[in-house]
């Protein structure tokens, strides 16, 4: 976290971050599907992958909310779909 006064992300920074998060979410889901498919959903590694996917989805929601605060009046729905 930045010390002192917080400076919100710009629109361009939110766009870049949103694109990166989408890429990571897609790849993590692919890897999760692979591990769950090989070892089954009751395997510890598969369970942890499922939790990681859930956590990344939560991060995406949190970033969506942050974008609303950082960019008041701007339609932010497409930044973190």
pLDDT of residue 42: 95
**pLDDT at residue number 2:** 58
pLDDT computed for residue 21 by the predictor: 97
User: Low-confidence residues of the chain, pLDDT below 70?
Assistant: 1-4
pLDDT tens track for 61-74: 999 999 999 999 99
The four Cα atoms 38, 43, 48, 54 give a dihedral, to 10 degrees, of 70
Residues 6+ apart with CB under 8 A from 42: none
Copy the structure tokens of residue 20.
Answer: 């990166």
Identify the H or E element spanning 36: helix 11-39
Residue 77 has what pLDDT? Answer: 87
Task: Tell me how far apart the alpha carbons of residues 35 and 31 are, in angstroms, rounded to a whole number.
Answer: 6
Task: Note the pLDDT of residue 43.
Answer: 97
Q: How far apart are CA 64 and CA 70, in angstroms?
A: 10
pTM of the model: 0.84
């Amino acid at each position: 976290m930045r010390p002192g006064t917080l400076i919100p992300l710009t629109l361009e920074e939110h766009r870049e971050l949103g694109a990166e998060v989408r890429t990571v979410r897609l790849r993590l889901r692919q890897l999760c599907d692979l591990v769950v498919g090989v070892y089954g959903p009751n395997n510890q590694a598969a369970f942890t992958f499922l939790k990681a996917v859930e956590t990344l989805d939560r991060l995406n929601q949190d970033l969506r909310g942050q974008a609303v605060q950082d960019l008041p009046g701007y339609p932010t729905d497409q930044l973190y779909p």
